[in-house]
Structure 1
Amino acid sequence: MIIGVRIDGRLIHGQVANLWTTKLNITRIMVVDDEVSKSAIEKSGLKLATPAGVKLSVLPYELAAENILAKRYESQRLLIVAKKPHYLLELVKKGVPIEEINVGNMSQTDTTIAVTRSVNVEKEDIAEFKELQARGVRLVHQMVPADSAEDFMSLLDKKG
């Protein structure tokens, strides 16, 4: 069962591994990323960052959608993590029931626009966020569980 969905450019690190996993009582973290799923080095790094007792899946989006829709994780408390909105939008297009996405850390580059101190978006990210919203997905920004959740699209709209 999907308990949480988070965008975080760092994937699994302190906030996801400790704070969110504990707060949501997660039993499996699923990283959805076609490139990372092909990298043995990145996968072993993610495995090291995953808390003891929590299972890890690192999957391309098509297999992730297939497994979720086949109800492979129904007895588990699943946290889905992706670097950007792209793969989450692909999951939604395939029928994965995602109601809310927590937009966490997205790194700054030469081509990004700062939405908050820790969220920087590209033009294509903005289009994907708008499509997710149009498909009924609620987008919030909440770095850590102690913070209050803010409406992400309102923050994005302020940036024009």
Structure 2
Amino acid sequence: MIFITKFGGIIMSIVAVRIDERLIHGQVANLWTTKLQASRIMVVDNDIIKNDIQKTALKLAKPAGVNLSILGVKKSSANILAGKYDSQKVFLVVKKPSILVSMMEEGVKFDTINVGNMSQKDTTQHLTQSINVTDDDYHAFHQLLDAGVKVTAQMVPSDNIKNFEDILKDYKI
């Protein structure tokens, strides 16, 4: 469990932070949310907050009985730092590592981040069966690692946890 603290006090419990381009889908909605016993999924993305169709799709994909927040970087960071979700078990999901770097720049601290799926595109390098990164992703991951964040790779809860720093060594700049 990850605790975000402000002035030494616990203000919110984030049970997991995951990078997964698919955001809410079968693995996140069923496997991860159940395993983590999350009461809220927080999707942070500056583009999705402007797209009603994507927001509706996320609302339909969330598990019954689990609250959902769809927020941009600034609003999510402000809410976290203000303790808006005290006593909830929040599962934070983003598409890209740069979003988490931006949240850190706003003052949010992370202990551990799990990397799930990052799709293959023309601009990515293939690192694992489900993880493909761009140069920007590579640099964002290093910013997270340099800040002392533990980064792991684990597709589903039953998979072995892998040290993402070891996986990232295969990236060729």
TM-score normalised by L of structure 1: 0.98
Q: Number of paired residues?
A: 160
CA distance in 2: counterparts of 1:137 and 1:122, whole angstroms: 20
- Deviation of 1:145 (Å): 0.2
Which amino acid in the other structure matches residue 31 of structure 2?
L
Structure 2 equivalent of residue 93 of structure 1: 105
1:22, 1:66 → 2: CA distance? 27
Offset of residue 66 of structure 1? 0.1
Give 1:109's aligned amino acid: K
Deviations 1:94-114 (A, max 9, x none): 221211110110010011001
Looking at secondary structure, tell me which structure has more strand per residue: 2
Out of 158, 161, 169, the residue aligned to residue 149 of structure 1 is 161
Determine the structure 2 residue equivalent to 1:117.
129
Normalising by structure 2, we get a TM-score of 0.91
Distance in 1 of aligned mates of 2:97 and 2:170: 19
Deviations 1:32-83 (A, max 9, x none): 0000011111000000000000000000000000000001112100011000
Q: Distance in 1 between matches of 2:96 and 2:109?
A: 18
Q: Secondary structure at the match of 1:124?
A: helix
Q: What does 1:12-27 correspond to in 2, within 5 Å? A: 12-27=24-39
Unmatched 5+ stretches in structure 1:
none
Matching residue's letter, 1:6:
R
What are the ranges of 5 or more consecutive residues in structure 2 without an aligned counterpart? 1-12
Percent of aligned pairs sharing the same letter: 51
2:5 counterpart of 1:5: no
Shift, 1:90, TM fit = 0.8
The one of 123, 135, 138 aligned to 2:150: 138
Give me the CA root mean square deviation: 0.7
Tell me the distance in 2 between the aligned counterparts of 1:34 and 1:151.
28
2:54 to 38, 42, 60: 42
Describe how 1:32-111 pairs up with structure 2 within 5 A.
Answer: 32-111=44-123
Distance in 2 between residues matched to 1:114 and 1:98, nearest whole Å = 26
Runs of 4+ in 1 over 6 A off after TM superposition: none
